[in-house]
Chain A
Amino acid sequence: MMEYALEIKGLRKEYKGFTLKDVSFALPRGTIMGLVGPNGAGKTTVIKLILNLIRRQAGEITVFGEDVIAREKAIKSRIGFVHETPSFVEDAKLRDIAAAVAPLYERWDGGLFRSLISEFGLPLGKKFKKLSHGMKMKFSLALALAHEADLLVLDEPTSGLDPVFRRELLERLSGLIQDEGKAVLFSTHITSDLETTADYITFLHAGEIVFSLPKDEIHETWAVVKAGPELLNGKLRPLFRAIRETPHYIEALTSDIRTLKAALPAGAVIEKASIEDIMVFMDEGAAHV
């Protein structure tokens, strides 16, 4: 039986004007999952629910097999969290923030923290408010990594980072899961990060899961088909997830290229769908089927 670092079943959270509906997915140990979706899809809401920062209306969340509410303290000591806009007491120095946080974690590794600080080029004597967004993100990452978390939950961790550090971070995440017991869940808009790093992709759209699949499976089964208007005949239409019509041809996204392939009209062009293609198709600009 596969062991999951994180398992979510039937999660629901209602806000005025937005509902996260029946979200279910599982993150196996030793893997990295990218949580993607357009703005307002519900990525941050899912992350906040995992950390019990907001209350769920329905559903179950377990981390390493334990309920996140019933065993909140024990679970949070195993989670490293980075918020999309890192916020600490602004007029505190980095040294003081670290000193305030460290005693709360049993597995805090002071040596690792110091080496991360030095590697990231962070000035411990500086006030948090004096840092750029990228530096704040790096500091937040150093705190998340220094207590040897088993599950890293990162909300847009690469936003605001320069390309060099972004790549280093992604390599670090890949290195981290060499330890089979650990796992990473990160939300992002930068789909190229997912292509290089993620093992699983969970795609959220308007509060609902579109899919949660291994990345390889997505590449094998999802495709963009380009052809003339005959593409939309009654038999093929149900096999498309989204359609974009131009004056000259039709582009359609399918999640079942194996079935579709045999029935396609002559001259139809099939292209592998990238994560970005899927995001663009599922979002505005494509008529949902």
Chain B
Amino acid sequence: MYRLMLKDLRLHKRFVVGFGIAYVIYMAIFHSRANNPGAVSIFGAFLYAIIPLLIFTREDKFKAAAFNLSLPVTRKEFLQARYVLGWLVMLVLYAGTSLLTIAVPGTKLGLSAIFQVKLVLLVIFFMAVVFGLLMPLVVAFGFAGMIVFLVFIQVLGIVSILLANLFQPAIRTAIQGMGAFLGSVQSGLGPVGSAIALLVALLLFSYGSFRLSLYLYQRKDV
């Protein structure tokens, strides 16, 4: 797996380094000016998840899939390496952005504001969800799969706004119900217990995403 991760990093190093540095600087400046670190973190998490996927879609762009799969690796190993590399890239981007945010002159955010447990968990939650949802689409449809997902998110947003106006009481009740459920889980498990429960749930979700990606990949003709 390590060799496969290294292969991807070697082949895409200009893209990873160039794009990664530019992105970290941009996000850190954006972050440092924010009044609401939570909202910016969620936005950032979404983008952290997109970047490793952009690396993987380059295989699609260069039609290099046939060569990759002619190498002495199984599709399962290939995918395992991509999930691990994806998480490494996301975490490095997150850590890099957070540390640089503190160092930006005139920043509004200090170490304690950025590394609140709840905020870190929120970022991990969004990274896991976006990456976990997008990976099977990228595996099955390449770059087009990612674009379809992003368009779908936009459409979902518009539909939600429309529905919110139509079914405001029902939606409010549903959100309140979900909030109450999460609140009761949190009070039942305690802060540490609920954090562990969340991480376990995300781990299971990521594993489900991996199994779905593998199912699709093993049936894909390249």
Task: Point out residues on A near B: beta carbons under 8 Å.
Answer: 48, 51-55, 72-74, 76-77, 79, 81, 83, 85-92, 96-97, 99-101, 103-105
Which chain A residues border B63 with CB–CB below 8 Å? Answer: 85, 87
Contact of B74 among A48, A72, A99, A103 (CB under 8 A): A72
Residues of A within 8 A of B11 (CB): 88-89, 92, 96-97, 100
A61–chain B nearest beta-carbon distance, Å: 14
Partner of B62, one of A48, A53, A77, A87: A87
Give A104 to B63 CA distance when docked, in angstroms.
Answer: 20
In the docked arrangement, what's the CA distance between A90 and B10, Å?
Answer: 13
A57 to B221, CA, bound (A): 12
CB distance B219 to A55 under 8 Å?
Answer: yes
Chain B residues, CB < 8 A from A85: 63
Alpha-carbon distance A73/B4, docked complex (angstroms): 13
Contact A76 B6 (CB under 8 A): no
A96 in contact with B13 given A54-B221, A55-B221, A73-B74 (CB within 8 Å): yes
Can you pick out 28 interface pairs between chain A and chain B where the beta carbons lie within 8 Å of each other? Answer: A48-B222, A51-B69, A53-B66, A53-B222, A72-B74, A73-B72, A73-B74, A76-B72, A76-B73, A79-B70, A81-B70, A83-B67, A87-B62, A87-B64, A88-B11, A88-B62, A89-B12, A89-B62, A89-B64, A90-B62, A91-B15, A92-B12, A97-B11, A100-B6, A100-B7, A100-B10, A101-B7, A105-B72
User: In the complex, what residue of chain A is closest to B218 when comparing beta carbons?
Assistant: A55
Q: Given A53-B222, A100-B6, does the pair A48, B72 have CB atoms closer than 8 Å?
A: no
Most buried by A among B3, B12, B69, B74: B69
* Given pairs A73-B73, A103-B7, 7 additional interface contacts (CB within 8 A): A53-B70, A55-B221, A83-B66, A91-B14, A100-B10, A101-B71, A104-B71
Determine the distance from Cα of A87 to Cα of B66 in the docked complex, in whole angstroms. Answer: 8
Chain A contacts of B66 at CB under 8 A? 48, 51, 53, 83, 87
Partner of B7 from A77, A90, A91, A104 at Cβ < 8 Å: A104
Residues of B contacting A87 in the complex (Cβ-Cβ under 8 angstroms): 62-64, 66-67
User: Is B70's CB under 8 angstroms from A103's CB?
Assistant: no
A residues less than 8 Å from B72 (CB atoms): 73-74, 76-77, 104-105
If A54-B222, A55-B219 touch, does A104 touch B3 (CB 8 Å cutoff)?
yes
Interface centre among B4, B12, B221 (most CB of A within 10 A): B221
Residue of B nearest to A155 (CB): B66
**Are A86 and B67 neighbours in the complex by a CB distance under 8 Å?**
yes
> Which residue of B10, B12, B58, B62 contacts A99 across the interface (Cβ within 8 Å)?
B10
* Chain A neighbourhood of B6, CB < 8 A: 100, 103
Complex Cα spacing A81 to B7, Å: 18
B49 CB to closest chain A CB, in angstroms? 22
A130 to B66, CA, bound (A): 20
Shortest beta-carbon contacts, A-B, top 4: A77-B72, A54-B221, A76-B72, A100-B7
Q: How far is the CA of A89 from the CA of B66 in the complex (A)?
A: 12
State A238–B59 Cα separation when bound (angstroms): 52
Q: In the complex the two chains form, what is the Cα distance from A48 to B11 in whole Å?
A: 24
Chain B residue at minimal CB-CB distance from A106: B72
Distance from A58 Cβ to chain B, minimum over Cβ atoms (Å): 15
Minimal beta-carbon separation of B139 from chain A (angstroms)? 15
- Please judge, given known A-B contacts A87-B62, A92-B11, A97-B11, whether A104 and B73 are in contact too, CB under 8 Å: yes
List the B residue with the shortest CB-CB distance to A50.
Answer: B70
CA distance A159 to B221 in the complex (A): 24
| A158 CA to B128 CA, complexed, in Å | 47
**What is the distance, in angstroms, from B76's C-beta to the closest C-beta of chain A?**
10
The verdict on A76 contacting B12 (CB below 8 Å), with A88-B64, A89-B58, A101-B7 known, is no
A103 close to B221 (CB less than 8 A): no
Contact, CB under 8 Å: A53 / B69: yes
Q: Which residues of A contact B10 (CB under 8 A)?
A: 92, 96, 99-100
Give B24 Cβ to nearest chain A Cβ, in Å. 21
Q: Which of A51, A76, A90, A92 has the most CB of B within 10 A?
A: A92
Task: List chain B residues, Cβ under 8 A from A89.
Answer: 11-12, 58-59, 62, 64
